[in-house]
Amino acid sequence: MRDPLKSLSTESFNLARDKMRQQASAMIKEASAPKDGIWYWVFLKPDWKLVAWAFPARDKKNVNHIDLWPKVCQSFLAPHYKWNQSQLNEAMRLPYSMPRGRVTSEVFEENGQTMTYFFIRHGSDTPAPHNLNEIMNEYGLSLHVLEKMAEFIHDPEETMVEEEQAAMVALIS
């Protein structure tokens, strides 16, 4: 049986290798590119977990917490707390019961270059001892923060709703 690799010339092998490297490089660049998205800090006794929905900033998806909340309830809260269907249904009506936030971006021109500036919007109710470093890492924004191309903004729209928070505390107690 003939070995297919032996039939490749050095030139065609090098071309194939270079193409694979370019593809891998593009995939790594895409995966590490800064992202927009939304997140929740979810309390899974005894710890908090960051649940994020991130996507490339250029996609400009119009998502909100109500889109992510059912997945959070079904995938994290219900299994962890062993809720029945009634408890799950009640929790799914409480999308503003846990700390949350979002990353948004704006594109602008400066000195002939297209630049992207990121806003990390949060409700100032991030659970201790957690900080916003996990969020910067999840959305690939650490370098942008250092280069002053991203900023943290307290956004009252991202703050928990007290009534929903109280109802969630009752569910998980």
How much is the pTM?
0.74
Average pLDDT, integer, range 111-123: 91
* CA nearest to 78, candidates 68, 66, 90: 90
Place of tokens 């400066």: 110
Q: pLDDT for 51-88, tens place per residue?
A: 998 888 777 677 789 989 999 999 999 999 999 999 99
Side-chain half-sphere of 161: how many Cα atoms within 13 Å?
Answer: 10
Q: Binning pLDDT at 50, 70 and 90, where does residue 134 land?
A: confident
Q: Is pLDDT at 135 greater than 50 in this prediction?
A: yes
Q: What are the residue ranges spanned by the domains of the chain?
A: 1-32, 34-172
Strand ordering across the sheet containing 47-56: 47-56, 35-44, 100-110, 113-122, 150-154
Q: Is pLDDT at 171 greater than 70 in this prediction?
A: yes
Q: pLDDT for 101-111, tens place per residue?
A: 999 998 899 89
